[in-house]
Amino acid sequence: MSEEKVTLDFLAHQIRGMRDDVLSLKEDMSVLTAIVLRLERDAARREARDEDMLTQMRAMVRQHQRFSERLRALEEERP
């Protein structure tokens, strides 16, 4: 087995490779973080929209109930 000398050039090359790998991982994390934040905002908007629809449906049910009560009262007034 031959022993190779470790030179500063070799170490510099290895460190540059590791630095490039870390920068690549950092870029990947930036992209993934942006995706997660977008999905989180979408979920919050979806929840708010669903809550608004539920409020509207409840109001429509109350409106229908009042209409039914008025109709029933009119029908009872008829001889």
Distance between CA 42 and CA 57 in Å, rounded?
Answer: 22
What is the per-residue pLDDT for 32? 96
Handedness of CA 9, 10, 13, 19 (dihedral sign): negative
> Measured at the alpha carbon of residue 34, what is the angle toward residues 29 and 35, in degrees to the nearest 5?
100
What is the per-residue pLDDT for 2? 64
What is the per-residue pLDDT for 4? 80
pLDDT by position in tens, the chain (length 79): 567 889 999 999 999 999 999 999 999 999 999 999 999 999 999 999 999 999 999 999 999 999 999 999 999 988 7
What is the per-residue pLDDT for 1? 52
pTM over 0.85: no
